[in-house]
Structure formats: structure tokens, C-alpha cells
Amino acid sequence: MASKSALLSRSGHRLFRQGRRLAASPCPICACSSQAVRPRLRTKAEAASRRALSTSTNPRIELENTLLELQKQSPNLINISRLQLALQGLRQATGTEIIRVAILGLANGAAAGPTARRVLRALLADPLQEEQPWERELEHRDETKPLIVRVGPPQKHAVSLEIEKETGLDEMHISSPELDGYNIEFLLMEVNVPYGAPGETSIQSLEDAVLVPTVDIPSAKDRVSPISTPVHQALLVADGLMGAVNVSALPVSETDESITAAVQFDGVSKDQLQANFDVVDVSLAERGIGLFRQGPQNAMDYERLWFSSNVPTLLKWLKNGAKPVADETKLAVRKLIASLLQNTTSEIQLAETRMLSKALTLKSDDPAVAALNQRLAEWAQSAHSELQDELDMAFKGRRWRKLGWWKLFWRVDDIAMLTNEMLSQRFMPTAEQELVYLTGRIEQLGGSHPEYPQPASSVNTAESRKLGSGEHAPALAATSSSSLPKWPGHIAFTRRYLQNETVPALQSLAQRLVVQSLGTSGVTTSLATLLYVSSFASTIYEAGAVAALGIVYSLGRMQKKWDAARTFWEGEVREEGRKAVRGAEESVATVLESNGSNGVEETGELQTTKELVAKAEDALARMK
């Protein structure tokens, strides 16, 4: 067995060295498995057929091609390591994607490395079997060396222990009955995360450090090469009070559950600490596993200790992301792609902000342009003020009060009329007129007809935003259509979007609530009548109590849902208004920036990247 293990280890080591020779420096975890997972296109005809099929029938292949275009178009705006991991998942069979999970001990936390090893051992240990060789090897290994743990059934991995001693990247093949069917790979290592006072560490900086950890691979004698190792999910492990303080300063709870944290505390629960992270006691889990291995008579003690340790919470988090569902992409893969696209959108916005700042700086010497820039800033300020003041008046006015929940029974058909009137009269009419005047001044100054970036169709934008940031505001899209206005049309487009997309949905909800309320009230009234007629209710008061209970319940349910819908719509109108003002301001600033070809070319590249991100989000929403 030892010689066979060494032979397999050397074979895996050769594959890793071949992967390191690639110019792109691929992730070391997938160096051994990418050839087995990715289907091979044997002929050019098959490749052409696959590409032709992608744009018409298969959103999964369409998403893969779009991500490849994003990589080619804007490699500086997208995280290449996470993109490669996303592409690898899309190339695997649906529902069987390999999910990578990093178990990371905080390097600046006390005893975090050994604690991370103990957590991983508790997650994978089988209490129905005696202590396995990999458990002893894991317990005594050096926590400073990264370790890859591939989990699979015994028939898939005939060797349960595979360690390459000559390199800093070791491997284990482990069979765990609890996780064999989930196709999970673990990366166990220590990591340094960006620390600061609570609120200072951004979510993106945390994701870059935790979801794309760097592994040092020996490349020559006394030399190492750092290689990025992207993962789908990450578990931060800390120990003791100092570890809890460090974890509490990180925005772990603000992520999309791709990152979670666990702190080892003996005899302390999460409720006692009032923490936003999980508190575990691995010693209880280890004791429970040891007792169960002594005999089935200790099953009750094992169950009590196992659940008291809070390790099952971490196991549930693992399974939620890697749970295989027939013909459906695993949740961890979807979250990875959605996060990747959202971060790319943030990078695009930062690039636009830098371009705008640079353009305004370069133009500050021109008095006329400087005056227009000042006028644009004043317009933006006044537009935001008008938006807030006018909407405050609208949502406190008589029309909005007419749509109280108790008035829906006779005003449910007036919702569209009243809300459309509010939007037409209160949604920044003055700011829109002043924007037209400002663009006229710009045209007069330049002596030409500048082309302003216009918002895309609200319908297309709504379809492309089903998964991701959740924004429905029209996005910028450069267009030269003669049907579009000669000034930024963001306010008008946003108003039209609210009237055509959100108002019908609000009215439909109101009609449905009225029907449900009347139906529930009618059913309970009929039941009360039957009780009275059949003499089950001795008096009319008892039957009336049954009817009153149903009516009160239906009206209370209707009030709760309608008030929540009204509040949500108010917030959506305000948020879309802010986005419209910002989009119009950026559109005017784009025209005011330098007339050099570099600025125009860079703006076009950013616009192309935006369209690719929207296309990818749409394909992700349609993908199963």
C-alpha cells in the first residue's frame, strides 16, 4: 500500500509541475482534475457545433462564452482566478460540479492553525469506523503547509491517504459517508486577512484575501512561487478571545454566505457572546466521536456532545452550497458567478469615476468648461433635493392616502391612475427641464451636437437584473438612434420604467390581496352559517365569533402585506430616482471630458464590458 501511495503521489506531483509550466499559472487544486472533468473536443466540427448551439439553446454554454469574452475584453476589471474557477464549474456536468471549500486558520490568531485542523477532522470523521490513518496524519502534520483534501467514495479513491512529502502542497484522498456524494475539495491552510476597526475592512478586500488565498509552491531550490487558489466557499477559523475580536471586526455577515467564521470557545455558546459568527467547541465533538467508537451504547452521549459542539452548523453550511440537485447548477457555483459579475460592475463604476475625475481635472484650466462643470454639480445637487422634497410631498399627499389598505375594496382599480399621476407630476419635472437647458449650453459652447450615452430599455434591463445586485434601474448604453432624445434621457426612461413595470405589479398585488381577503372572509362566514344551521353552534354569537375570526384574520393579513408593498414601492421609487440623477450626471460629464480619442475609446470599452456583464447576468438567471 505504501509503494502504491508513493507511486500515485509522484504521479500527482508530475501533474502539478506540468500545471506550473503553463503561462497562465493555473490553480494548483484543479491541475490534477481538470483533464478528467472537462470534456475534450476531438474535432473542429464538434467545436464549431458546440459554439453554434451556445447562443440559442443552452444558457450554460452562453454564460461560459460570455465570461470568456469578458476575460478577453476587460482582464483588468475581472478577477481572473475566480473567473477560471467559474469556467471550470460551467464545463462540468450540471449538478455534479466540484465545490472547493477553504478551511482557513487566521494566521494572527492564537492556535488557529491546529484548531482549523481539528475542525476539518471533526467534519470528515466517521464515528462508525475506527480511527483512520488520515486522522492521525492530519493531527500531526505541520499546519503551515497547505493541504488539499479530496472527498469521495472509496471506489473512486482506492487510496485513502496520499501525501507528497517533497513539495509544500500535500494531498489527501478521504472517504466520508457524510460528504461523499457532494463532490467537495478542501484547502486547509493559514491565511492573513486585512484587519482594521469595525467597518474599515471592505467586503471586496475580504473576499480577495479569503476566497482567493495565495499558496506558495516550491519552484526551485530554496525558492517558492505564489499561486492564487480560488475557492467557492471559505470557513475562517479562529481560537479564543483574541480570535473572536479579530473575526468580529470583519464584515463576514455582510457577504452572501460564501464566507463564514467559527471561533473555538470551550463551554461558551453563540447566544452568550451575542456574536455574528459561529461559536464551536471542537473538543465536545471529538469526545463524542471517541465515545461512539467505543460502542453503540454511547449513542445518546455522542448525539448530545455532537450537537452541543455546534459543528453540525458548519456541516449544514457546507451541504447547502454543495448539495447536488438533478439538472440544476449547485448553489455555490451560482453564487460565485453572481459575486464575480457584481464585483466587475463595481470595478466598472470605479473606472468611470476615475475617468470623470481625470477629465474634470484636465478641464479645470478652461473657464467655460469649468463653469459648465460647476453648473452640472449644482444641477445634480438641486435634482437630488427636488427628488427628496417632491416625493416626500407625494407620499404624504392625498392621492397616496387614498390607497390605504382599508380603501382597497373600492379603489383597487384606481391604483394605476393615482400612482401614474404621482410619478408624472412629482418625479423631477423641474430637474428634467433644467437638464435640457444645460445640454443646450454645452451644445452652444462646442458648436456641435454631442452624443450623450442613453439608458437602455427598461424591459431589457429588468430581464438582465434577475440575479446579482437586484438593481432594476436602466443602465447606460451608448446609442445613436434618432428616436432617442438629444440630451440624457435617464429621468424620462426611469419614470417610464416605474410606470410600465412597477405600477402594474403593485396593482396586481392589490387585486390579489382583495380577492384573497374576500375569499377567506366568505369561507369563514359560510362555515359559521353551517355551524349555526347544523346546531353545532348553540347560539348565533358563537357562529358570529367564527365569522369574525376569519374576517379579522383576512383583513390583518391584507393590511400587513399591502403596507409592506407600499413601503417597498416608496423605497424603489426613491432609489431609482437617485440612480437616474447619477446616470444623467455621468452622461453629461462624459461629454464634458477631454475630446481626445483615448477617452472616447476607453468609454466605449467600458460600455462593451457593461453589456457583457448584463448578458452574463441574463444567462445566469435563465440557467438551471
Give the separation between CA 52 and CA 56, rounded to whole angstroms. 8
> pLDDT-based confidence at 471, cuts 50/70/90?
very low
Strand 214-220 relative to strand 170-174, pairing: unpaired
Question: Domain tally for the chain?
Answer: 2
Q: What is the pLDDT of residues 111-164, one digit of tens each?
A: 688 889 999 999 999 898 888 888 888 888 877 788 899 998 875 544 455 555
Tell me phi and psi for residue 172, to 5 degrees. Answer: -135, 140
* Alpha-carbon separation of residue 553 from 58, 267, 581 (angstroms): 46, 45, 43
Give the separation between CA 194 and CA 50, rounded to whole angstroms. 43
Q: What is the average per-residue pLDDT within 273-290?
A: 86
Structural domain contains residue 429: yes
The per-residue pLDDT for 316 is 92
pTM of the model: 0.58
* Alpha-carbon separation of residue 432 from 438, 495, 502, 531, 577 (angstroms): 10, 11, 21, 62, 12
353, 381, 415 - which closes a domain: 353
Structural domain contains residue 20: no
> pLDDT-based confidence at 20, cuts 50/70/90?
very low
- What mean pLDDT, rounded, does the chain reach? 76
What is the secondary structure of 354-367 as a DSSP string? Answer: HHHHHHHHHGGG-H
> pLDDT-based confidence at 552, cuts 50/70/90?
confident
Give the separation between CA 624 and CA 328, rounded to whole angstroms. 5
Query: Between 515 and 185, whose confidence is greater?
Result: 185
Give the separation between CA 174 and CA 278, rounded to whole angstroms. 26
Give the separation between CA 186 and CA 77, rounded to whole angstroms. 28
Non-local (6+) Cβ contacts of 441 within 8 A are 372, 375
User: In terms of domains, do 571 and 604 share one?
Assistant: yes
**Three cell numbers, residue 51:** 459554439
Give the separation between CA 99 and CA 331, rounded to whole angstroms. 10
Q: Lowest mean pLDDT: which of 39-48, 71-80, 478-487?
A: 39-48
Structural domain contains residue 6: no
User: In terms of domains, do 386 and 530 share one?
Assistant: yes
User: In terms of domains, do 211 and 333 share one?
Assistant: yes
> pLDDT-based confidence at 484, cuts 50/70/90?
low
**Three cell numbers, residue 430:** 423641474
User: In terms of domains, do 197 and 123 share one?
Assistant: yes
* Alpha-carbon separation of residue 564 from 95, 512, 599 (angstroms): 36, 15, 45
Give percent of the chain with pLDDT exceeding 70. Answer: 75
Q: What is the average per-residue pLDDT within 391-395?
A: 85
User: In terms of domains, do 399 and 538 share one?
Assistant: yes
Tell me phi and psi for residue 148, to 5 degrees. Answer: -100, 130
User: In terms of domains, do 393 and 497 share one?
Assistant: yes
Structural domain contains residue 58: no
The per-residue pLDDT for 480 is 38
User: In terms of domains, do 346 and 412 share one?
Assistant: no
Q: What is the average per-residue pLDDT within 594-605?
A: 55
Structural domain contains residue 518: yes
The per-residue pLDDT for 550 is 78
User: In terms of domains, do 331 and 414 share one?
Assistant: no
The per-residue pLDDT for 469 is 35
User: In terms of domains, do 86 and 165 share one?
Assistant: yes
Structural domain contains residue 445: yes
**Three cell numbers, residue 234:** 471559505
Structural domain contains residue 51: no
Q: What is the average per-residue pLDDT within 289-305?
A: 90
Structural domain contains residue 287: no
The per-residue pLDDT for 476 is 35
User: In terms of domains, do 415 and 379 share one?
Assistant: yes
Q: What is the DSSP letter of 534?
A: T
The per-residue pLDDT for 348 is 86
295, 328, 353 - which closes a domain: 353
Query: Between 17 and 448, whose confidence is greater?
Result: 448
**Sheet hosting strand 233-239, strand order edge to edge:** 170-174, 147-151, 184-191, 99-106, 233-239, 259-264, 278-280
Q: Lowest mean pLDDT: which of 105-114, 206-215, 236-245, 371-380?
A: 105-114
Q: What is the average per-residue pLDDT within 245-271?
A: 82
The per-residue pLDDT for 468 is 36
The per-residue pLDDT for 32 is 47
> Quick check: 231 pLDDT over 90?
yes
323, 353, 383 - which closes a domain: 353
> pLDDT-based confidence at 184, cuts 50/70/90?
very high
Are 248 and 198 in contact, with CB atoms under 8 Å apart? yes
The per-residue pLDDT for 5 is 39
User: In terms of domains, do 414 and 321 share one?
Assistant: no
The boundaries of the domain holding residue 81 are: 68-281+311-353
User: In terms of domains, do 106 and 147 share one?
Assistant: yes
